[in-house]
Structure 1
Amino acid sequence: MSDESKSFRCQSGFSSPPCYAAEVAPDYFDPLATDPAQARDVARWRKVERTRLRDARLAMPVTERKETDAALAGHLRQVLQDRFDGARGMVFSAYWPIKGEPDLRPLMTELHEDGVTVALPLVEAKAAPLTFRRWTPETRMVRGDWNIPVPPPDAHVVTPDIALAPLIGWTPDGYRLGYGGGYFDRTLAELTPNPFAIGIGIKTAQLAIIYPQPHDIRLDLILTEAGVMFGRVSD
């Protein structure tokens, strides 16, 4: 990451996606954990796993990446149809892909055209829940911290009914290995009512366990290119 990219800030302050928190604070751990030494050990292990899984994801061939993205989009579209009647009239929080994450932007456009309010999450204040700004295909994105596109400060702020949670790793019991900043967990813990949280990842990023800490929140659903890995499509 270049110094120029790190130094860029848009006019809204700390406006940025949560994805690089672990690089800003690589020794991040939750002080609310019952055993600080154990929490530090878990944080170190997670840092190693993040690097391993992220490198593997970045190494995926372009053709395989496109096939994975298309399969994930198809499964997600079906989940939204089966559980939420397509999510029409609802607020759906997606994400802007970085570092090899599945690219669901074509689906974002489709959902917008079908009457879904699409939003993107970003950090407005450090150590605080995420803010969600509305996105449309016509939105003129601005550069947030780390040069990542985000909706502009005048975009409408919304509260999601459904929220995608990008992940680096996932477990069969519904936990995600995120980027280390705790923003998604903090947001899921504080939003009322809670959005339906869907973890989006790739099948090969499965972990046996992430050693859940007090701040970790189990997702409602985990979805990969192979389909639903955790959770139920319908009640």
Structure 2
Amino acid sequence: MAREDQTTIGGHVIDRATKLQVDAHRKAERERLYALRRGMPQSNRAAETEQVIAALTDRLGDVAGKTIAFYWPIRGELDLRACMHALHRSGATVSLPVVVTRAAPVEFRTWAPGCAMTRGIWNIPVPAEGAPQRPDIVILPLVGIDADCYRLGNGGGYYDMTLASLPVAPLKIGVGQGFCRIDSIRPQPWDVRLDTAILGDGSIISAP
């Protein structure tokens, strides 16, 4: 049981003071990286997107019969929808995350070209219907990434909750701009380490 000076997150107990320090560090890094995204020229964004799609396609290899979870781009995230189309044509089942209940794991719902879409809880387009899928591979958008392959996301904790809840761990691949490297996210016990991160400058970071 947590003391008054502690809090519990994902079943892990942490000092409130430590959490405040970590939250402040991550918020500052997010704001810095969001600003870099906003200032990124469209030509650079397009070039980095192509670079990441090529490297990701090479990394995935034969995807026939695999279920791959992507994301719908927001806040200047790399737009990999062309890759979603290509992998669907190659025989993969493509899915997108859907927030069904706030502050709870997401479900991955099948997406296909032309499928009915609706606006989700955060006003992000999601497949309107379909049974939840269990992904073999999850592609995660990066705000930041450190050398140990810990991801800085938008701060909601949805991916960490979701990945921790899956009975079989999928392959976890982060994708982001070349400038998204940071020294450390100051990882906590509930943070889920990625297997690999592919960046727009051509670099690849792998978990130790």
Tell me whether the two structures share a fold, i.e. TM-score over 0.5. yes
The aligned residue for residue 79 of structure 2 is 103
Instruction: State the structure with bigger RCO (CA 8 A, min sep 6), 1 or 2.
Output: 1
Query: Counterpart amino acid of 1:214?
Result: P
User: Does the CA-based 8 Å contact 1:69-1:104 persist in structure 2?
Assistant: yes
1:93 partner letter? A
Give the counterpart of 1:122 among 98, 111, 117.
98
| Residue matched to 1:34 | 14
Secondary structure class of the residue paired with 2:132? coil
CA contact (8 A) 1:163 1:198 kept: yes
- Structure 1 distance, partners of 2:174, 2:91, is 23
Partner of 2:182: 207
What is the distance in 2 between the residues matched to 1:146 and 1:159? 22
Give the aligned partner of residue 138 of structure 1.
114
* TM value normalised by structure 2: 0.91
Distance 1:185 1:224 in 2: 20
1:51 Cα deviation from its structure 2 partner: 1.1
In 1, the alpha carbon distance for the partners of 2:29 and 2:41 equals 21
Equivalent residue for 1:179, pick from 151, 154, 167: 154
Q: 1:77 aligns with which of 31, 54, 57?
A: 57
Alpha-carbon distance in 1 for matches of 2:47, 2:13: 40
Aligned residue number for residue 136 of structure 2: 161
Aligned length: 200
* Maintained 8 Å contact 2:99/2:120: no
Secondary structure of the residue aligned to 2:133 is coil
Q: 1:51 aligns with which of 31, 39, 44?
A: 31
Is the contact made by 1:133 and 1:155 (CA closer than 8 Å) also made in structure 2? yes
Secondary structure of 1:101's aligned partner: coil
* Structure 2: stretches of 5+ with no match in the other structure: 1-7
In structure 2, relative to structure 1, the CA distance for the partners of 1:231 and 1:41 (3 Å cut) is closer
TM-align CA RMSD: 1.7
Task: Give, in whole Å, the separation in 2 of the partners of 1:184 and 1:147.
Answer: 17
> C-alpha separation between the residues in 1 aligned to 2:74 and 2:179?
18
Report the TM-score when normalising by structure 1.
0.81
Q: Residue 37 of structure 1: SS of its match in structure 2?
A: helix
Distance in 2 (CA, whole Å) between partners of 1:212 and 1:146 is: 26
- After TM superposition, the runs of 4+ consecutive aligned structure 1 residues lying more than 4 A away are none
* Cα distance in structure 2, aligned partners of 1:143 and 1:38: 36
Is 61-70 or 221-230 further displaced after alignment? Answer: 221-230
Q: Which blocks of at least 5 consecutive residues in structure 1 are unaligned?
A: 1-28
Bigger helix fraction = 1
Which string of whole-angstrom CA distances, capped at 9 and with x for unpartnered residues, describes residues 95-136 of structure 1? 000111001000100000110000001211122211000000
Q: Which amino acid aligns with 2:171?
A: F
1:119 is paired with a residue whose SS is strand
Q: Could you list the per-position Cα deviations for residues 157-214 of structure 1 after superposition, in whole angstroms to 9, with x for gaps in the alignment?
A: 2110000111200001110101111111111111011111111112211011111111
Deviation of the 1:148 alpha carbon: 1.6
Aligned 8 A contact 2:97 2:109 in 1: yes
For the Cα contact (< 8 Å) 2:99–2:121, is it kept in 1? no
For residues 57 and 124 of structure 1, the distance between their equivalents in structure 2, rounded to whole angstroms, comes to 28
